[in-house]
Amino acid sequence: MPRNFSRVFTFVSLFFLLAACAAPVQTGTAASASPALTGAPISTSTFSSPTALPVPSATPTAPPQSQPDTGIISYVMDARLDYQAKTLNVKQDIDYPNTSGGPIADMLLAVEPNLIPGVFNLSSLSQDNQPVKPYSLTGQRLTWKLTAALPAGGKTHIHLEYQLALPQAQQGNPNVVRPQIFGVTARQVNLTDWYPMVVPFNAGGGWHLADPWFYGEHLVYPQANFDVTLRFSDPANAPVVAASAAPQPVDGGMRYVLERGRDFVLSMGRQMQVKSAQVEGVTISSYYYPGSEAGGQAVLDATSKALKTFGAFFGSYSHKSLAAVQGDFNDGMEFDGLYYLSNSFYNLYDGTPNNYLPMVAAHETSHQWWWGRVASDQAKSPWMDESLASYCEEIFYEKNYPDSVKWWWSVRIDFYQPSGMIDGDVPGYAGFAPYTNTVYKQGAHFFADLRLAMGDQDFFAFLKDYAAQMDGKIAAPGDFFRILKLHSSSDLNALLAKYFAHPPKI
């Protein structure tokens, strides 16, 4: 990509950009005043000069719906990694509370590594200290019948022992081959969606686990507590490790504790370098490789600015650490407490904010709110996190680099002439480019137009209240529009009809 970011893009830079990004209950309080932005949003490809905005005054919000704290899923994992052989032996315990309100007659765990032949070997499975026989492991689905139904409010304990033969992380055309982060690259070991996980259960609809598609995401993550110990067969030659939580040294490795997270990720490499900073009580760490020192610092700076910006507008970040990792692959992806940026972004970094590296760093950081704090069904309603995360890029630039807002709209959004309805499911877009152009880019236009229609004060009060009310939960479109209605005195029906094939009445 040219250093001046002209509107001539290479295929590789376009691919990497589009590939970037691909739930007891906490309740919030009334939204407080939002900090002023330095410019007005631009929702068309014709840019006008930003106008200074006053600081919005505090406005009351409807109280969140109170729900009792009925328990949370707990994962305890003890993993031993042979870094040289690229094998992982794991003992895993899951404590699962049935908070669905109805009985559960069978169990389902998502086992993503089993989608790759020869990777996952289950050697032991028991429930409440009794061996599970029989069970079925087909593709990503590990299922078995319960000897007695788990009643509403009941709890069960699951124990698994398994081995992972870590695969090479293959890449290819996203219309044909699903990008793979999990596994081994030339310089990296990436443990993403590496353990059997409990998927959401609804008393009326059963377990929810969508099939993976060639592009986009398909998992829905209930919030859980994680206690993960990673030990090495050769501790003296252990790699540098990035994780979803801060490390605590133990014999032969590290222990990590993440409370109320969506998932737990580990990334490691012997060539990895790291720079860290403290931002409002959060340790931000940027992991990068030799030759990418400038990019590593830029990611640290952008993540720090983004954390401050989004914390001010949407509420405080949920954890004590956040890691940004240079991904040794053709992709970028959000996880709770950690995100990846494509190696290509580092290679193309030109030292300015008008660059994909800080831009996508801001996007991925925003997912700590719109995926981490507030989860959604990524396969059925990808707009709920990706459209909002894309518009958060604009907020990031508006607050930190107002002179770059025009560049952002031109290069990131309007160059692609986005159109279409944003409320489709992932497979329904029939291609990687139609999916990203509609959900990411047209979705950014929706949020810009929504902001213009509502005004800054109501718009940011809405987003802050949405984050508070749905904190720790899995939001559905109905939750989004219900909370939106609390903050809007305008008639938004024509606007919603412009962007949604099935618009609600507001």
- Residue 50 reports pLDDT greater than 60: no
The whole-number pLDDT of residue 192 equals 97
Helices 456-469 & 443-454 angle (0-180, nearest 10)? 120
Among left, alpha and beta (phi > 0; psi -120 to 50; other), residue 350 is alpha
Could you tell me how many residues make up the chain?
Answer: 506
**pLDDT band at 44; cut points 50, 70, 90:** very low
The pLDDT assigned to 173 comes to 72
Mean pLDDT is lowest, of 176-185, 224-233, 364-373, for 176-185
> Is pLDDT at 348 greater than 70 in this prediction?
yes
The predicted pLDDT at position 94 comes to: 98
How confident is the model at residue 219, as a pLDDT?
A: 96
Give backbone dihedrals phi and psi of 53, rounded to 5 degrees, phi first.
Answer: -115, 145
Lowest mean pLDDT among 24-38, 96-110, 167-181, 352-366: 24-38
Residue 55 pLDDT greater than 70, yes or no: no
Beta bridge partners of 138: 141
Q: What is the architecture of the domain spanning 73-270? A: Sandwich (2.60)
Question: Could you read off the pLDDT of 389-436 as tens digits, one per residue?
Answer: 999 999 999 999 999 999 999 999 999 999 999 999 999 998 999 999
For a pLDDT cut of 90, what percent of the chain falls above it?
81
Residue 483: pLDDT above 90?
A: yes
Q: With bands split at pLDDT 50, 70 and 90, how would you rate the model's confidence at 15? A: very low
Higher pLDDT, 30 or 210: 210
Q: For 237-259, how does the pLDDT look when each residue is reduced to its tens digit (9 = 90+)? A: 999 999 999 999 999 999 999 99
Tell the burial category of 79 from Cβ atoms under 10 Å away from its Cβ (0-12, 13-18, 19+). buried
Residues in a beta bridge with 93: 76, 159
**pLDDT (average), residues 270-291:** 97
SS3 of 275, please?
strand
Beta bridge partners of 90: 79, 162
**Calpha distance 400→354 (Å, rounded):** 12
The domain segmentation of the chain, as residue ranges, is 25-67+374-499, 73-270
Q: Is the pLDDT of residue 356 over 70?
A: yes
Look at domain 25-67+374-499 and name its CATH class. Answer: mainly alpha
Find out whether the peptide bond into 434 is cis, omega within 30 degrees of 0. Answer: no
Q: Is the pLDDT of residue 69 over 90?
A: no
Task: Report CA 438 to chain centroid distance, whole Å.
Answer: 19
pLDDT surpasses 60 at 198:
yes
Where does the pLDDT of residue 159 fall: very low under 50, low under 70, confident under 90, or very high at 90 and above?
A: very high
**Percent of the chain, pLDDT > 70?**
85
User: Would you say the pTM of this structure is higher than 0.85?
Assistant: yes
Bridge partners of residue 255, in order along the sequence: 229, 248
What is the residue-averaged pLDDT of the chain?
88
User: Is the pLDDT assigned to residue 32 strictly greater than 60?
Assistant: no
Are 182 and 194 a contacting pair, CB within 8 Å?
yes
Q: What is the pLDDT of residue 144?
A: 98
Bigger pLDDT: 227 or 1? 227
Residue 45 pLDDT: 33
What's the pLDDT at 11?
A: 35
Residue 19, pLDDT score: 42
Distances (CA, A) of 79 to 24, 93, 177, 227, 367: 27, 12, 29, 11, 27
**What pLDDT is stored for residue 175 in this prediction?**
66
pLDDT higher for 49 or 466? 466
Low-confidence winner among 164-178, 366-380, 437-451 (lowest mean pLDDT): 164-178
| Residue 174: per-residue pLDDT | 66
Q: How confident is the model at residue 13 (pLDDT cuts 50, 70, 90)?
A: very low
Q: Confidence class of residue 21 from pLDDT cuts 50, 70 and 90?
A: low
Q: Looking at the predicted structure, is the pLDDT value of residue 181 above 80? A: yes
Degrees, nearest 5: CA angle 377-28-506? 60
